[in-house]
């Protein structure tokens, strides 16, 4: 047998190379589609992050006046509670006085 019988033909080599090339191109196209999908997902995520950043800044801006209002209302509540406590104490003293007067009235009458 000669070496020519064992050597593949040029046509067979070209077919093998074409098959390998087609397989590689298919893999590359698959990777390209995956990369494009990831790039779109990253872009959407970046947009979402930016939207949340803007929202966070807006809420932080709104929070300042709300905190000041909450502080003012807490102080007002504290003052009103002190007034209520004073009035409740006065009512209790008046009830005691009324009871003492009632007892004195009964004792004298």
Percent of the chain with pLDDT over 90: 81
- Mean per-residue pLDDT of the chain: 92
Q: What digits encode the pLDDT tens for the residues 4-48? A: 556 779 999 999 999 999 999 999 999 999 999 999 999 999 999
Kindly provide the b/e burial profile for residues 28-54, where b requires at least 16 CB atoms within 10 angstroms of the residue's own CB.
Answer: eeeeeeeeeeeeeeeeeeeeeeeeeee
User: What is the value of pTM for the model shown?
Assistant: 0.53
In whole angstroms, what is the distance from residue 1 CA to residue 7 CA?
Answer: 11
> What is d(CA 86, CA 109) in angstroms, rounded to the nearest whole number?
34
Predicted confidence at residue 1, as pLDDT, reads 46
């Amino acid at each position: 047998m000669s070496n020519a019988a064992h050597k593949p033909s040029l046509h067979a080599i070209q077919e093998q190379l074409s098959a390998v090339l087609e397989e590689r191109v298919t893999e590359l196209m698959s990777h390209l589609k995956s990369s494009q999908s990831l790039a779109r997902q990253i872009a959407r995520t970046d947009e979402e992050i930016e939207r949340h950043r803007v929202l966070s800044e807006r809420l932080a801006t709104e929070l300042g006046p709300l905190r000041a209002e909450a502080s003012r209302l807490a102080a007002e509540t504290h003052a009103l509670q002190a007034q209520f406590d004073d009035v409740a104490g006065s009512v209790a003293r008046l009830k005691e006085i009324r009871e003492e007067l009632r007892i004195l009235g009964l004792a004298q009458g």
